[in-house]
Amino acid sequence: MVPLKKETTSYPPLNLNAVFKGLLAAIITTILGSAVSGVVYHVTTLSEQTLPLASSGLFYFSIFTGSVFAAREAGCKGLVHGIGVALLFVLFGWLLANLFLNAKAAFLVVLQKTIISLVTGALGGVLGVGLSR
């Protein structure tokens, strides 16, 4: 019986360059999305009651976009790269909120948002590897 050929991969466990590019893509998506939604809320008759849902949607869409970008850039290990982008983006948002807004949130709310962000990042990372070159 012939032994199976042992394949070795030279992929690093985590491509930090790709993760930081994904984080930058997520931040840019958030800034552009905030500008567009600001114009939409100003020009249309949308109620401000929809603003929390819209901002949460933009938050998760930004993580998804950054995760797709990071995993596509890395070309492998989409889950790791997507979760990396999600963790950094949540940490970045938390730091900004605490520094500039002095925001205090309940632990369970932050935990729930973090878990949803990790799932969103993982899904974006898997899609990003599928879209890689």
Residue 2 lies in a domain: no
Residue 6 lies in a domain: no
Question: In this predicted structure, what is the pLDDT of residue 13?
Answer: 80
Q: Which of 9, 11, 121 is nearest to 77 (CA)?
A: 11
Distance CA 104, CA 78 (A): 32
Residue 122 lies in a domain: yes
pLDDT in tens, the chain (133 residues): 666 666 556 667 888 899 999 999 999 999 999 999 999 999 998 888 999 999 999 999 999 999 999 999 988 888 999 999 999 999 999 888 888 887 777 788 889 999 999 999 999 999 998 887 6
Q: Residue 111 is part of which domain span?
A: 17-33+51-130
Please state the pTM of the whole predicted model: 0.86
Other beta carbons less than 10 A from residue 127's beta carbon? 17
SS3 content of the chain, % helix, strand, coil (to 5): 75, 0, 25
Residue 65 lies in a domain: yes
Q: Which of 118, 116, 121, 117 is nearest to 66 (CA)?
A: 121
CB 128 within 8 A of CB 78: yes
How many domains is the chain partitioned into structurally? 1
Residue 86 lies in a domain: yes
CB 21 within 8 A of CB 84: no
